[in-house]
Amino acid sequence: MTIWVALLRGVNVGGHNKVPMGALRQALADAGLGEVTTYIASGNLVLAADDDPAGAIAAVITDSFGLDIAVLTRTADELRSAAGANPFAELAATAPKAVHCFFTSTPVTAEVLDAFDGERYAPDRLDVAAGELFAAYPDGMARSTLTNVVIDRVAGGPTTARNWNTVGRLVELATEREGSAADGG
Protein backbone atom coordinates (compact mmCIF):
# COMPACT_ATOMS: atom_id res chain seq x y z
CA MET A 1 0.00 0.00 0.00
CA THR A 2 1.09 3.53 -0.78
CA ILE A 3 0.48 6.44 1.57
CA TRP A 4 -1.35 9.21 -0.27
CA VAL A 5 -2.13 12.81 0.62
CA ALA A 6 -5.29 14.09 -1.04
CA LEU A 7 -5.86 17.82 -1.27
CA LEU A 8 -9.40 19.02 -1.93
CA ARG A 9 -9.72 22.27 -3.84
CA GLY A 10 -11.97 24.95 -2.42
CA VAL A 11 -13.88 23.15 0.34
CA ASN A 12 -15.16 24.90 3.45
CA VAL A 13 -13.94 28.30 2.27
CA GLY A 14 -16.12 31.27 3.10
CA GLY A 15 -19.14 29.08 3.73
CA HIS A 16 -19.00 27.49 0.27
CA ASN A 17 -18.60 23.84 -0.72
CA LYS A 18 -19.25 22.60 2.79
CA VAL A 19 -17.80 19.17 3.43
CA PRO A 20 -17.70 18.19 7.13
CA MET A 21 -14.49 16.23 7.64
CA GLY A 22 -16.07 13.68 10.02
CA ALA A 23 -18.82 12.92 7.51
CA LEU A 24 -16.26 12.72 4.72
CA ARG A 25 -14.12 10.24 6.68
CA GLN A 26 -17.20 8.08 7.24
CA ALA A 27 -18.33 8.30 3.60
CA LEU A 28 -14.84 7.32 2.41
CA ALA A 29 -14.71 4.40 4.86
CA ASP A 30 -18.19 3.28 3.69
CA ALA A 31 -16.86 3.39 0.10
CA GLY A 32 -14.04 1.03 1.03
CA LEU A 33 -11.19 3.53 1.23
CA GLY A 34 -10.26 2.44 4.74
CA GLU A 35 -8.94 4.63 7.51
CA VAL A 36 -8.61 8.25 6.44
CA THR A 37 -6.96 10.93 8.55
CA THR A 38 -8.06 14.51 7.96
CA TYR A 39 -6.20 17.65 8.92
CA ILE A 40 -8.12 20.90 9.43
CA ALA A 41 -11.33 21.63 7.59
CA SER A 42 -9.77 22.82 4.33
CA GLY A 43 -9.72 19.32 2.85
CA ASN A 44 -6.46 17.55 3.63
CA LEU A 45 -6.59 13.77 3.73
CA VAL A 46 -3.98 11.10 4.44
CA LEU A 47 -4.79 7.50 3.53
CA ALA A 48 -3.33 4.24 2.31
CA ALA A 49 -4.34 2.87 -1.09
CA ASP A 50 -2.88 0.63 -3.75
CA ASP A 51 -3.66 3.11 -6.53
CA ASP A 52 -4.17 6.86 -6.78
CA PRO A 53 -7.44 7.48 -4.88
CA ALA A 54 -8.29 10.87 -6.46
CA GLY A 55 -11.13 9.57 -8.64
CA ALA A 56 -12.67 7.51 -5.86
CA ILE A 57 -12.52 10.44 -3.43
CA ALA A 58 -14.07 12.82 -5.97
CA ALA A 59 -16.87 10.31 -6.64
CA VAL A 60 -17.62 9.95 -2.92
CA ILE A 61 -17.77 13.74 -2.53
CA THR A 62 -20.15 14.02 -5.48
CA ASP A 63 -22.35 11.16 -4.27
CA SER A 64 -22.36 12.16 -0.59
CA PHE A 65 -22.29 15.95 -0.74
CA GLY A 66 -23.45 16.80 -4.27
CA LEU A 67 -20.25 18.71 -5.02
CA ASP A 68 -17.84 18.54 -7.94
CA ILE A 69 -14.51 19.08 -6.21
CA ALA A 70 -11.04 18.78 -7.74
CA VAL A 71 -8.92 16.29 -5.78
CA LEU A 72 -5.16 16.53 -6.20
CA THR A 73 -3.08 13.69 -4.81
CA ARG A 74 0.56 13.17 -3.94
CA THR A 75 2.33 10.19 -2.52
CA ALA A 76 4.11 10.76 0.77
CA ASP A 77 7.41 10.73 -1.15
CA GLU A 78 6.16 13.33 -3.65
CA LEU A 79 4.96 15.56 -0.81
CA ARG A 80 8.31 15.29 0.97
CA SER A 81 10.10 16.07 -2.30
CA ALA A 82 8.04 19.24 -2.76
CA ALA A 83 8.61 20.28 0.85
CA GLY A 84 12.34 19.72 0.51
CA ALA A 85 12.51 21.80 -2.67
CA ASN A 86 10.81 24.93 -1.28
CA PRO A 87 12.58 27.87 -2.97
CA PHE A 88 11.35 30.18 -0.19
CA ALA A 89 12.60 28.09 2.74
CA GLU A 90 14.25 31.08 4.42
CA LEU A 91 10.97 33.03 4.54
CA ALA A 92 9.05 29.88 5.52
CA ALA A 93 11.34 29.42 8.53
CA THR A 94 10.34 32.79 9.98
CA ALA A 95 6.88 33.34 8.45
CA PRO A 96 5.37 29.97 7.46
CA LYS A 97 1.96 31.46 6.65
CA ALA A 98 3.63 33.74 4.08
CA VAL A 99 4.73 30.80 1.92
CA HIS A 100 2.25 28.67 -0.01
CA CYS A 101 2.70 25.61 -2.13
CA PHE A 102 0.25 25.52 -5.02
CA PHE A 103 -0.20 21.86 -5.84
CA THR A 104 -0.88 21.51 -9.53
CA SER A 105 -3.08 19.14 -11.49
CA THR A 106 -0.10 18.25 -13.67
CA PRO A 107 3.59 18.80 -12.85
CA VAL A 108 4.96 22.14 -14.00
CA THR A 109 8.44 23.12 -15.07
CA ALA A 110 10.28 26.42 -14.80
CA GLU A 111 9.25 27.22 -18.39
CA VAL A 112 5.74 28.10 -17.16
CA LEU A 113 7.28 31.23 -15.67
CA ASP A 114 8.75 32.39 -19.01
CA ALA A 115 5.65 34.40 -19.91
CA PHE A 116 4.84 35.33 -16.29
CA ASP A 117 5.40 39.01 -15.44
CA GLY A 118 6.66 38.56 -11.89
CA GLU A 119 7.48 42.26 -11.45
CA ARG A 120 3.78 43.03 -11.76
CA TYR A 121 3.10 41.18 -8.49
CA ALA A 122 6.05 42.41 -6.39
CA PRO A 123 6.80 42.05 -3.55
CA ASP A 124 5.07 38.69 -3.96
CA ARG A 125 7.06 36.07 -5.82
CA LEU A 126 6.31 32.86 -7.68
CA ASP A 127 8.73 30.01 -8.36
CA VAL A 128 8.70 26.39 -9.47
CA ALA A 129 10.27 23.42 -7.69
CA ALA A 130 9.59 19.68 -7.69
CA GLY A 131 6.78 20.14 -10.22
CA GLU A 132 4.80 22.52 -7.98
CA LEU A 133 4.36 26.28 -7.83
CA PHE A 134 5.51 28.11 -4.71
CA ALA A 135 4.41 31.61 -3.79
CA ALA A 136 5.94 33.96 -1.25
CA TYR A 137 3.66 36.62 0.19
CA PRO A 138 5.90 38.67 2.50
CA ASP A 139 3.06 41.10 3.27
CA GLY A 140 0.40 38.38 3.47
CA MET A 141 -1.84 36.74 0.90
CA ALA A 142 -5.10 38.55 1.69
CA ARG A 143 -4.50 41.68 -0.41
CA SER A 144 -2.14 40.22 -2.97
CA THR A 145 -2.89 40.44 -6.66
CA LEU A 146 -1.01 37.14 -7.11
CA THR A 147 -4.28 35.27 -6.69
CA ASN A 148 -5.39 31.69 -7.21
CA VAL A 149 -6.84 32.70 -10.59
CA VAL A 150 -3.47 34.05 -11.73
CA ILE A 151 -1.64 30.99 -10.45
CA ASP A 152 -4.12 28.60 -12.11
CA ARG A 153 -3.45 30.43 -15.38
CA VAL A 154 0.31 30.08 -14.93
CA ALA A 155 -0.08 26.37 -14.06
CA GLY A 156 -2.37 25.72 -17.00
CA GLY A 157 -5.00 24.08 -14.81
CA PRO A 158 -6.49 23.91 -11.35
CA THR A 159 -4.27 24.24 -8.32
CA THR A 160 -4.89 24.15 -4.61
CA ALA A 161 -2.75 26.05 -2.14
CA ARG A 162 -1.54 25.11 1.32
CA ASN A 163 0.50 27.36 3.59
CA TRP A 164 3.82 26.14 4.88
CA ASN A 165 2.46 25.15 8.30
CA THR A 166 -0.08 22.87 6.61
CA VAL A 167 2.49 21.38 4.22
CA GLY A 168 4.74 20.59 7.17
CA ARG A 169 1.95 18.96 9.15
CA LEU A 170 0.86 16.88 6.15
CA VAL A 171 4.43 15.64 5.71
CA GLU A 172 4.43 14.64 9.39
CA LEU A 173 1.07 12.85 9.14
CA ALA A 174 2.07 10.98 5.98
CA THR A 175 5.41 9.95 7.51
CA GLU A 176 3.69 8.79 10.71
CA ARG A 177 1.23 6.79 8.63
CA GLU A 178 4.09 5.16 6.72
CA GLY A 179 5.73 4.24 10.03
CA SER A 180 2.47 2.78 11.30
CA ALA A 181 2.03 0.75 8.11
CA ALA A 182 5.59 -0.54 8.38
CA ASP A 183 4.90 -1.63 11.96
CA GLY A 184 1.82 -3.54 10.75
CA GLY A 185 -0.67 -1.06 12.17
157 residue type, one letter: G
Q: Which of 90, 98, 92 is nearest to 138 (CA)?
A: 98
- Strand, coil or helix: 169: helix
End-to-end CA distance of the chain: 12
pTM (2 d.p.): 0.92
Q: Give the integer Cα–Cα distance in Å for 34 and 81.
A: 25
Q: Give the integer Cα–Cα distance in Å for 53 and 41.
A: 19
Segment holding 75, helix H or strand E: strand 71-75
Q: Angle, to 10 degrees, between the axis of helix 164-182 and the axis of helix 76-84?
A: 140
| pLDDT band per the 50, 70, 90 thresholds, residue 10 | confident
Question: Tens digits of per-residue pLDDT, 62-116?
Answer: 999 999 999 999 999 999 999 999 999 999 999 999 999 999 999 999 999 998 9
Domain architecture of the chain: domains with CATH: 2-76+168-182 (3.30.70.1280), 79-163 (no CATH)
- Strand, coil or helix: 160: strand
**DSSP structural state of residue 111:** G
